[in-house]
Amino acid sequence: MSTAQPLLKRERKRSREIFERAEKVLVGGVNSPVRAFRSVGGEPLIIERGSGQHLYDADGNELLDFVCSWGAMILGHANPAISEAIADQARRGTSFGVTTELELELATLITRAIPFIEKIRFVSSGTEATMSAVRLARGATKRDFIVKFEGCYHGHADSFLSQAGSGLATLGIAECPGVPAALAALTLNVPYNDLNAVERVFLQHKDKIAAVIVEPIAANMGVVPPETGFLKGLQAIAKKNGALLIVDEVITGFRLHNGSVQELLGIEADLTTLGKIIGGGVPVAAYGGRAELMNHVAPLGPVYQAGTLAGNPLAMRAGIAALKQLTKPGLYEEMTQLARRLVFGLRAELADAGIPAQINAIGSLSTVFYTPEPVRNYTDAKRSDTKRYARFFREMLDRGIFLAPSQFEAAFVSVAHTSQDIDRTLAAAHESLQVISSDSAA
């Protein structure tokens, strides 16, 4: 097996110089913590451009990308239809602060694909969407408590920053300074995949819980699928107790098929949040649900939420161009088959190297956990050997393969990836794991 020339043997002088300058004016040299590579070591990447399944750093080094802007780039980088739509809209105007027909067009594409979302409100980030959905749930039920699951990440609003997985897990932050204790006390954390714990917390806080918020497939403690009956059980418990079910599909929306993953899992949330893919790589998110519930939001109701750039025309054009392409017959099946080849191949390479690991996968997203035991929740995920993951990350990066710079994130296969890309990745994994195995033996 062979791979491209190792990346770190190439010149990265310009990237290094840019990051050193960035550290002087940006906090940690980055605008989102995981980008600093603190948990995996090595020098952070400085990306100059992307094309299809590849990224190119400031020194011109090519990387095969399995981060895909944390799942947003399902069609690959610089998709021609999306790029042209954005360029055309930029010539017409980039922000108006009033409604455009584009907002109606994207909303219609989404609600046709997800019929149980009757009305929708666009915002600019996943955090805004989940924060607004929780506010709506509290306003509609006139209750204060919410239930979330340990290791599930729903953005960085105050209500969500306890046992939150994702970047906090990467950095080893369990509780975030700056979140008032009184507000944190209104968030009740329970283990993912544990319906008994959910039942107990509803008994302990009878008639006080406004909503349960959940990732239908956890992807921010690494990928952890729901166990059979878990989500249906959640829906039943919430309904029985007069609470709302909020399903956070910022990652999973339009990821496994052209619509909501809830359709595949046999549930329908009261409120659903979306992001990433619906924006085609431009900042867009949304929350929506039944009309009678969404009508509590201003201007129709008293639950206030607003945003100058909400429904931004550039973002709407990008989202429309993205979603129209996702209706192509066979698109999801082909992407899933590539992802399966990658997962099966990685499992074989790990076994061959004698390295204990689990690979959790569903559809086109997956995570390698360096632990001998199955990973079903956040406690299991935290038992992973994060140092070994960091070593694997660096070895793969040396060979031009860009994986998530964190144990607690997902790898994504996009429409742009090819069978040859999977072959190349497995060859790089073979070399990387043999090096790691040899070093461990020594």
Catalytic residues: 153, 248, 276
Neighbours of 302 (CB within 10 A): 8
Q: How far apart are CA 332 and CA 203, in angstroms?
A: 41
Q: How far apart are CA 276 and CA 412, in angstroms?
A: 13
Question: What are the percentages of helix, strand and coil residues in the chain, rounded to 5?
Answer: 40, 15, 40
> Is the Cβ–Cβ distance between 359 and 366 less than 8 Å?
yes
Q: How far apart are CA 287 and CA 281, in angstroms?
A: 18
Structure tokens at 269: 């949330």
Residues forming beta bridges with residue 190, ordered by sequence position: 149
Hey, what amino acid is at 4?
A: A
Q: How far apart are CA 19 and CA 68, in angstroms?
A: 21
Listed residue (23, 27, 52, 28) closest to 39, CA to CA: 28
Give SS3 for 289: strand
Q: Where are the beta strands (DSSP E) in 267-416?
A: 271-274, 285-289, 358-362, 365-369, 401-402, 411-412
Q: Are strands 365-369 and 358-362 parallel, antiparallel or unpaired?
A: antiparallel
Residue indicated by tokens 């809830």:
262
Give SS3 for 55: strand
Burial class (CB in 10 A: 0-12, 13-18, 19+), 27: exposed
Q: Where are the beta strands (DSSP E) in 159-258?
A: 187-190, 209-214, 244-249
Give SS3 for 436: helix
DSSP string, 59-111: T--EEEESSTTTTT-TT-BT-HHHHHHHHHHHHH-S--SS--HHHHHHHHHHH
Q: How far apart are CA 392 and CA 435, in angstroms?
A: 9
Residues forming beta bridges with residue 51, ordered by sequence position: 54
